[in-house]
Amino acid sequence: MTILPRARGVKVLKAVSSPLRLQILNFLFDKGSLSYTELMNQLKMNPSRDAGRFAYHLKFLLKANLVEVDSEAKKYYLTDLGKMVLDVADRVEKKAVKPKGMLVRTSHFTFEAFDANKIANSLIREGKMPADQAQKTAKETEKLLVKSKIKYLTSALIREIVNVLLVEKGLEDYRHKLTRLGLPVHEVTALIEAKNPLETGSALETAGKSVFREYTLLNVLPRDISDAHLSGALHIDSLSTWILKPSEVMHDLRFFLQNGQRLGLNPLQHAEKPPETFEAALAATFNMLLFTQREVNETQTVEYFNVFLAPYVKGLEPDRVKETLRLFIQNVNQHVDASFGLDLCIPRCLADKTAVAPQGGNTANYGSYAEEAKILTSLLVDIFIEENSPKPILNPKLIIKASREVFKDEAANSVLLKAHRLAADKGAVYFASTPQKERATAFSASGLKLQSDLTEDWETDTLRTGCLGCVTINLPRILHECEKDQAKFFSLLKERCELAVRALGIKNRALKQHGKAVLPFLMQSNNGDVYFRLENCSGIINLAGISETVAGFKGKVVSPEETAKFASELAQNMQTYVNKLGRRHSKRLFPAVLGSAEASARLAQLDVERYGVAKVKFSGTREKPFYVTTRRMQLQAGNFLSVPSEQLEQQQKLKILTAGANLTVVDLDSLEVKPEDLLKLTLSLMENHGTEFLTYNRVVTYCSNCRKSWFGNLHKCASCGSMGTLVEFDRFKDT
């Protein structure tokens, strides 16, 4: 007998008229499939007592084509008709109950009536969840909300409830994708109500960085890398902008002196015309620094600053040049937040290069402007000496390159002596050795080192590129995990290196993909020539806590020989790991010992919390522990300044770790030193001990009340007795 359509509809309605049969349909919808026994258990029916009643209701649903059975799996499923009936039943129930009130305040600051379908759509779109599973989760969420009788909802609260359900069901991967990013209300309130004066811009920046930090950990980095960072096994520098900015940039002024520069973020904006005067050239340099600081995490370096600007000062009065330079330095000091270095040198590699001359000027090579380059260097050092008293200028930093040939030049030697007078006082000045027969080398104030080792072209390899990023490995943590088993130590070190390289690879791909959008100034081009050579950037695997690790391995009393031996083995293993990983992942991957105050403090603090203060070897104090991340030397005073031989030996053993970064910090402490003696020490370290790049460091305390400064860390002004007006200046504190 053929069943008419209307009769079939009556049969379906009759099938769902029983609360028990509706329960069966709901259980099958929620669970997907259930066996005969599982269905009875869900209904809390007794197999011996209720078997007949259950079989009757199940058979009724089967005949109505609302449920079907897989005879092989012995499981019952909802049919499409069964799902449709449940959907209709839900809508009828909503109409009957008339829930007037579930209004949702959306993230778009509007009010909308609650709709479970939007939850399902969000799960499908954001979490890539299958449609059936998304619908089930949405229905469960709706049931919880209706049961709670809540009248006022926010989209954030709904998301939290959905995430709780996903956790309960073991669907952690979907919850991971749906997590909402942002700061708790309490933390935002703390930002606004901070006791220290806090500009609105700083609060906004802090909140924004928090969001991007969470996003990177949850949605960009694989779980093992994120866990390693969070646990303190390693530290990813500038995590909040890891996929947005390179770490460092080495500038080439000639690009802007020749082409002008596009200011602003509009890619269609025409570039300003090339500068024609010295004042205009410095203005172009200042604008370049301002716009680049938005797009770089750490440091900018203007290579060959004195050389590239030399043509612009030819024929000008020194006093005019000096005052123009002074205004430039003051503006940079006040307005450029990112660390910034000025590289001053007269390298032979530029002597035969055609100079960028002011418009209308005569064409010549840079070798023709050697005298002007020396004058610029001398004037800059004079300005720093004058401006550095009494308050130190920490930005910009002077980087002075000198070869043996330059040291023999009397005029250049007088400039070097003045520079060491600045260093002996309290200035941020760095000295680089540039042997003429070796590859061209560029240094930044952070210690970053780039050589012409990629294409053998010094311009391509060292200019308009920089450092992609830095990942710091926590060596003392490996020491705790390996329990002083040296073989296990190096095995774990290799694993951490692989994690670091993968993190750098992710950053590299992200910047290549989104570079034009997130780095509009750096990625500007002229006739197809893009300014920033992202593909030539280096990646740094940094080591924190070498000295603490050696002390932990060997015990409290460590001989210089043991320290040097372990340092040598550590350096060789690191070089081997990085060489192998570099062949697979990156053409410019380097191990290094590079100063990082954030990494050194964070990693030490996490280890103290994990293992206890008594079991962790660290530097600093119990309240402020840190791991050493800089190559440091302590002076010993006598008839002449020198560095203890054991320190020099250890530095030599770690020389393998200087391919990508190389900065030696010589601490002057409170020693009164003469510029002549300091210059002799610099020459000795460079010529006799292979030191390539160094700076002298002093701790200086400045009183803003009486505007005086002293060497060392003072708690009370020696002049006016004030305590609340003291500011400590230490370029390498806690590193």
Tell me what pLDDT residue 309 has. Answer: 93
In this prediction, residues 621-648 reach a mean pLDDT of 77
**N- to C-terminal Cα distance for the chain?**
89
Spell out the domain ranges in the chain: 5-86, 99-180, 221-247+466-628, 253-443, 699-735
pLDDT, residue 500, reads 94
Is residue 62's pLDDT more than 90? no
Give the DSSP letter of residue 610. Answer: H
User: Cα(19)–Cα(716) distance, rounded to whole angstroms?
Assistant: 82
Bond from prior residue into 5 cis (ω within 30 degrees of 0): no
DSSP letters for 136-162: HHHHHHHHHHHHHT-SEEEHHHHHHHH
Q: Which among 355-369, 377-391, 462-476 has the top mean pLDDT?
A: 462-476
- The answer on pLDDT for 679 being more than 60 is yes
| pLDDT at residue 7 in the model | 62
Residue 197 pLDDT: 47
Most confident of 181-190, 266-275, 468-477, 716-725: 468-477
User: How many C-beta atoms lie closer than 10 Å to residue 363's C-beta?
Assistant: 10
- pLDDT of 2 reads 47
Report pLDDT for 198: 45
More confident position, 51 or 676: 676
For the stretch 188-229, pLDDT in tens is 666 666 655 444 457 777 777 777 888 888 888 998 998 899
Confidence of residue 259 (pLDDT cuts 50, 70, 90): confident
pLDDT of 682 above 90: no
Asked if 405 and 439 touch (Cβ cutoff 8 Å), the reply is no
**pLDDT (average), residues 704-726:** 78
Cis? peptide before 675, omega within 30° of 0: no
State the pLDDT at residue 319. Answer: 94
How far from 228 is each of 32, 157, 221, 234, CA to CA, in Å?
A: 37, 30, 11, 6
3-state secondary structure 477-531: HHHHHHCCCHHHHHHHHHHHHHHHHHHHHHHHHHHHHHHHHHCCCCCCEECCEEC
Q: What is the mean pLDDT of residues 101-109?
A: 60
Q: Lowest mean pLDDT: which of 105-119, 154-168, 429-443?
A: 105-119
How many whole angstroms from its chain centre is CA 683? 36
Residue 5 has pLDDT above 60, yes or no: no
**Residue 100, pLDDT score:** 52
Burial, 278: exposed, middle or buried (Cβ in 10 Å; 0-12, 13-18, 19+)?
buried
Highest-pLDDT range among 125-139, 582-596, 603-617, 629-643: 603-617
The answer to whether 540 and 661 have CB atoms below 8 angstroms apart is yes
Q: Which of 187-191, 267-271, 378-382, 635-639 has the lowest mean pLDDT?
A: 267-271
CA nearest to 588, candidates 472, 448, 494, 401: 448
Q: Top-level CATH class of 5-86?
A: mainly alpha
Q: Which residues pair with 112 in a beta bridge?
A: 104
For residue 538, is pLDDT > 90? yes
State the DSSP H helix or E strand holding residue 36, giving kind and residue range, or none if neither.
Answer: helix 36-42
* 443 contacts 659 by C-beta, under 8 angstroms: no
Under 8 Å between Cβ of 344 and 376: yes
* Highest mean pLDDT, choosing among 77-86, 266-275, 530-539, 661-670: 530-539
**Cα separation, 681 vs 642, whole angstroms:** 7
pLDDT (tens digit per residue) in 294-304: 999 989 999 99
Quote the tokens at residue 278: 């010295």
Distance, in Å, from the CA atom of 671 to the CA atom of 636, rounded to the nearest integer, reads 9
Average pLDDT over residues 337-355: 68
pLDDT of 81 reads 83
CB contact set of 512 (below 8 Å; sequence gap of 6+):
534, 535
DSSP string covering 361-417, please?
A: PPP-BGGGGHHHHHHHHHHHHHHHHHHTSSS---SSEEEEEE-HHHHH-HHHHHHHH
Q: Coil, strand or helix: which one is 49?
A: coil
Residue-wise pLDDT for 391-420, tens only, equals: 778 888 899 887 766 666 676 788 888 999
Question: For residue 218, what is the DSSP state?
Answer: I
Quick one: tokens of 613? 């203060």
CA 274 – CA 255 distance, rounded (Å): 10
Beta-carbon contacts of residue 527 (< 8 Å; ≥ 6 apart): none
Q: Residue 644 — φ and ψ, nearest 5°?
A: -50, 140
pLDDT of residue 411: 66
What's the pLDDT at 277? 92
Rounded Cα–Cα distance for residues 591 and 614 (Å): 30
pLDDT at residue 433 is higher than 60: yes
pLDDT value of residue 312: 93
pLDDT for residue 408: 62
pLDDT above 90 covers a percentage of the chain that reads 22
CB atoms within 10 A of CB 394: 18
Q: Which helix (H) or strand (E) holds 420?
A: helix 410-425
pLDDT value for 8:
63
* CA gap 725, 715 in Å, rounded: 10
Q: Which of the two residues, 689 and 245, has the higher pLDDT score?
A: 245
How far is CA 255 from each of CA 271, 305, 537, rounded to the nearest angstrom?
12, 13, 18
Q: Which of 66-75, 313-322, 326-335, 530-539 has the lowest mean pLDDT?
A: 66-75
Distance CA 714, CA 615 (A): 31
Gap between the Cα atoms of 411 and 337, Å rounded: 34
The region of weakest confidence among 159-173, 183-197, 508-522 is 183-197
When pLDDT is cut at 50, 70 and 90, the band that residue 184 belongs to is low
Between 575 and 281, residue with greater pLDDT: 281
The predicted pLDDT at position 55 comes to 79
Residue type, 601: A
The position carrying tokens 């009936």 is: 85
Q: Is the per-residue pLDDT at 492 higher than 90?
A: yes
Q: Identify which of 251-255, 333-337, 406-410, 667-671 has the greatest average pLDDT.
A: 251-255
Both structure tokens of 293: 């600081």
Average pLDDT of every residue of the chain? 80
The band of 661, judged by pLDDT with boundaries at 50, 70 and 90, is confident
Task: Write a three-state SS string for 560-592.
Answer: HHHHHHHHHHHHHHHHHHHHHHHHHHCCCEEEE
Bridge partners, residue 400, by sequence: 344, 431
**Which of 146-150, 344-348, 461-465 has the weakest average pLDDT?**
344-348
pLDDT at residue 180 tops 50: yes
pLDDT of residue 439: 63
Better-scored residue on pLDDT, 631 or 638? 631
Q: Span 107-121, mean pLDDT?
A: 69
Q: How many whole angstroms separate alpha carbon 417 and alpha carbon 423?
A: 10
